[in-house]
A and B are shown apart, each in its own frame.
Chain A
Amino acid sequence: MGKRNTARDVTGGILSLGLAGLYIWFLSSFRPSGIYFLMAGAVFLICQYIVFSVFALGKPGHGLGVLLIFLAVATAVLFVGKWWWWPEGISSFAPELDAQFTRTLVVVAVAFIGAQVALGYVVMRYGSRGKERAVYSHGNTKLEVTWTLITAVIFIGTAILGQRVWAQLHLNEAPEGAEKIEVVAQQFQWNFHYSGADKTFGRTEARFINDSSLNYVGLDPADAQGNDDTQVSTLAIPVDRPVELTLKSKDVIHSFFAPALRFKQDAVPGLNIKVHFTAQKVGKYEVTCAELCGQLHYNMKTFMLVLPQNQYEELAAMKEEAFKERLGELLKEYKLPEEQKRANEEQTQTN
């Protein structure tokens, strides 16, 4: 314990009272209940202890150690509490991807909390004590080899497990009979090109692109196979059937990001990137752009409708006019999961 120091005592006192004020303000303005009330209390006590060890005991190491351990636990709570989490995964590979995410989270949590707590412990435990000397040691080879091998096995093992979903998605061709749709990205809009009843895409070329006459993808008017093709700005796909998208871009790099699918792929000008997936739940979902593409990048969003197969077949066989009209109706009919949730909550409230 160091010599008493008035300035230090006064500062510590002010800080301690300030924390108490903050705590009372928090309780009175948010009125937390149950677990949140307890959590706020715990945080308050820990903060008071940190101030106490730094200012009253004159042991900054204690304060720092407690802070490190507290940060580790608070971070873990933030992740485990799942207040903010992925939207529900609806693709066939989402469960496996989420499982790998969780496996990694466990490995990371153990390593993270272990390291922070160990650091907190040594900082608390080994503060200087008068003239007493530290242990004179240059290391321990056996210990080093052991922990190096353990981390190597765990990290590389995790990496290998992480390749499974990747291989399924990117190292395999799309299954036979996958529904083919072309995606043509442009600043700041998504275009989806359907092949129509003949299931054959009309020829497209840059020189035929004309945004003002709504030929966004550049269909060649001379190609008869393109007569029944449709270009729309909303993606509609069938449920429980593999879909193969061919991603293209007209101008700069964009990235097709559908969080509910757990899927993302850049659309690169000059490349036709083929990707495939299967959606397993009917509904309306959001698609947004994940690669900086210019001024209105943040606003380059659209919807993806996952439709029952018969509804989809009906739509896909339609001519452009009818297709667009029907798609507009379906867009109104289906609700985003979040809108659905809000509607349900209002329902229960009125009941």
Chain B
Amino acid sequence: MAETVPEIHGGVHRHEPPKRWIRRYVFSTDHKVIGIQYWFLALFSVFVGMALSLLMRLQLGWPGEQFGFLKTLFPNAAANGTISPEFYLSLVTMHGTIMVFFVLTTAPQGGFGNYFLPIQIGAADMAFPVLNMLSFWVTFLALAVMILAFFANMIDPDAAIGVLGPIGGWTGYAPLSAIGESAGPGQGTGVVLWVTSIALFCIASLLGALNFITTMLNLRTKGMSLARLPLTCWAWFTTAVLALLSFPVLLAAGILLLLDHLAGTSFFIPANLYIKDNVLTEHAGGSPILWQHLFWYFGHPEVYIAILPGMGLTSHILSTFARKPVFGYRVMIYAIFAIGLLGFFVWGHHMFQSGMDPRTAVAFSLITLSIGVPSAIKTFNWIGTLWGARIRFTTPMLFAVGFVSLFVSGGITGLFLGQTSVDIPLHDTYFVVGHFHLIMGVAAIFGIFAGTYFWFSKMFGKRINETMGKVHFWLTFIGVNAIFIPFHVMGMQGAPRRYSTHGNLEYLGGMAPLTKFISYAAFVTIGAQLIFLVNLIWSMTRGPKETEENPWEATTLEWTVPSPPPHDNFAGHEPVVHRGPYEFSVPNAANDFCKQTDPEPAAGD
């Protein structure tokens, strides 16, 4: 094959990047630039979210203890060096919201999906590049508003008691979130900005989802049939469908909540609430449970929006470094579909104790446990992929194996929580917190780590340091298990979530050593993330240049273009695909990998 690519090939013109800096790097319509923008946005957000969790762990491990530096940092919210209960709740709210929306939803889909979906299907860009640019910048605006929400009390002249964001958890249950400042600190401007940010985020995600679906269906290159798509593409596609169907519901719910808050409507506020010695006579007929239905109709698919791209990526990376085709490729696609589809009919399992009709709970429970079946299929097939493999233990591979382990640990406890009766004592305890942190938090983040180590050289043209990457893996993997498995045990003792201290509950006596242990484990794990940060900065600036197109000896289309790829990905040349995405260790082939673009061997070869 010729090394130099002709300027014009088969009548397709090569596209040059825009000359002006601002169009090239800031308001760019290039999916690769947008992907990297999303990735940096998520990177910023994940460190903010982690810093908040550090503060929470300080409070939970040593409730009531006075820390001088907290007093300096937050002269009002931690006036005597101890985090106040309302400040703790606002940390909980901001941590959850930032992590769920701006990390777990943006990095795997907006980041990697944007960058690699067009390349993996052999397209020059997304179907709607301008829409793509808009979706990033609306997300950026949403993040700015969310950060502002944390400082709401400083801009609100009525409150003005220092740093204090919204209080309501990432779920923002009405009517607490709907009636304003009279319901307590953090319920005024903080909540308004919080809902506004989420509404903006919904709009951005909708634009993105439309783009992903159209791109994957319409822009596949010659020979890239649906059955030859990498599993990453199937995961991004399904995620986009989930986003398209669930974000509008949250958008509507958010607007209704804003109206309740600002315009005096009563969608979620029932009549005659008695707050601060006052009966709220101006409201009537609203339903607090309606908010929960709308929120979780979005909220449960959201869990899959966070985890599905990680599942696709894990299949992809496991196969690549196992040097083996994915076990049951088609079944893996069906399982993704099944999870996505069933994911729309289980939102009620978040609401067993909410006061909704208990008969519907039975149906929600049965469908919920059915999701365990396609999830188990994924796990079986991942292990099947590794069976008989010749594994190369690179950093992305370590994180992919970690993903499988965490997916099992986090997913399997759903068997407890999905049962109507067993959920009664466990609901809203640390058991739930442990469950979703393992599955949608840490497992999804392991997907993001795996993707970062896997694609770093392709995205940035520099090699990332493998040694630091491996240290990062070992510390993080042991650390997250040491943090989140004990959460379940706290939950079984009945420790309620969203408490700044459990010290006043006698039945939880004896839990203190466990919470301290978790805090120490969290500090070590957070420290390990600094290694990751150093590695990123060092590798981007000082790392060796990536000279190879295909350093991992992988098969898909992104490994047939230079690192980083040219502006139009294939330099005006249209790749032709000849085979499925995971043809490793094909008997009698020259190499142990056959790229999708490798021509079929001539007869008799």
Contact = CB atoms under 8 A, between A and B. Distances in A.
A217 to B, nearest CB: 10
B390 interface: yes
Interface stretch (B257-265, B354-362, B538-546): B354-362
Contacts of B509: 338
A36 interface: no
Nearest to A118: B383
Contacts of A295: 85-86, 89, 167, 184-186
Contacts of A285: 507
User: Chain B CB within 10 Å — which of A101, A118, A268, A273 has the most?
Assistant: A268
A173 to B, nearest CB: 12
A134 B589 CA distance: 13
Nearest to A136: B585
Contact of A85 (B370, B492, B584): B492
Contacts of B11: none
B26 interface: no
Contact of A158 (B277, B369, B424, B427): B369
B514 A84 contact: yes
A122 B274 contact: no
B322 interface: yes
Interface stretch (B15-23, B47-55, B327-335): B327-335
B551 to A, nearest CB: 16
Contacts of B362: 163, 166-167
A80 B490 CA distance: 14
Interface in B398-417: 398, 401, 404-405, 408-409, 412-413, 415-416
Of B168, B185, B427, which is in contact with the most chain A CB atoms at under 10 Å from its CB?
A: B427
Interface stretch (A194-202, A226-234, A296-304, A317-325): A296-304
B586 interface: yes
Interface string A123-153: 1001111001111111111011001100110
A253 B324 contact: no
Contacts of A155: 369-370, 372-373, 376, 415
Interface string A274-291: 000000000001101111
Interface string B422-465: 10110111000000000000000000000000000000000000
Contacts of A86: 425, 492-494
A170 interface: yes
Contact of B427 (A206, A210, A290): A290
Interface residues of A, number: 109
B379 interface: yes
B507 A260 contact: yes
Contacts of A115: 379, 383, 408, 412
A271 B398 CA distance: 51
Contacts of B328: 138-141, 144
A290 B409 CA distance: 25
Given A67-B478, A162-B420, A265-B353, A137 B428 contact: no
A160 interface: yes
Interface stretch (B1-9, B97-105, B208-216, B497-505): B497-505
Interface in B352-406: 353-355, 358-359, 361-362, 365-366, 368-370, 372-373, 376-377, 379-384, 386-393, 398, 401, 404-405
A293 B176 contact: yes
B289 A268 contact: yes
A97 B413 contact: no
A221 interface: no
Interface string A84-111: 1111000000000100110011011001
Interface in A154-169: 155-156, 158-160, 162-167, 169
Nearest to A267: B355
A252 B380 CA distance: 45
Given A144-B331, A255-B353, A136 B587 contact: yes
B386 A122 contact: yes
A289 B85 CA distance: 15
B412 A111 contact: yes
Interface in A235-273: 250-253, 255, 257, 259-260, 262-266, 268-271, 273
Interface in B212-259: none
Nearest to B324: A134
A251 B275 contact: yes
Contact of A262 (B376, B387, B425): B425
A338 B508 CA distance: 9
B66 interface: no
B592 interface: yes
B601 interface: no
B89 A292 contact: yes
B409 A296 contact: no
Contacts of A299: 85, 504
Contacts of B493: 84-87
Contact of A170 (B185, B358, B500): B358
Q: Which of A100, A263, A288, A299 has the most CB of B within 10 A?
A: A288
B604 interface: no
B506 A100 contact: no
B401 A97 contact: no
A312 interface: no
Contacts of B507: 87, 259-260, 285-286, 336-338
B310 interface: no
Contacts of B485: 71, 75, 78
A167 B365 CA distance: 13
B564 to A, nearest CB: 28
B481 interface: yes
A128 to B, nearest CB: 4
A159 B419 contact: yes
Contacts of A138: 325-329
A348 to B, nearest CB: 18
Given A108-B412, A139-B328, A259-B494, A270 B369 contact: no
B539 to A, nearest CB: 19
Contacts of B409: 75, 112, 116
Contact of A163 (B331, B415, B421): B421
A212 interface: yes
Given A133-B390, A138-B328, A339-B506, A270 B85 contact: no
Given A97-B424, A151-B372, A264-B427, A160 B366 contact: yes
5 contacts: A83-B510, A126-B386, A166-B421, A294-B176, A295-B186
Q: What 10 A-B pairs are tightest by C-beta distance, nearest first? A: A270-B270, A162-B419, A135-B388, A170-B358, A206-B272, A139-B328, A259-B494, A165-B421, A166-B420, A159-B369
Interface of B: 85-86, 89, 167-169, 173, 175-176, 179, 183-187, 270-275, 277, 279, 286-289, 322-329, 331, 353-355, 358-359, 361-362, 365-366, 368-370, 372-373, 376-377, 379-384, 386-393, 398, 401, 404-405, 408-409, 412-413, 415-416, 418-422, 424-425, 427-429, 470, 477-478, 481, 485-486, 488-490, 492-494, 496, 498-502, 504-507, 509-511, 514, 584-587, 592
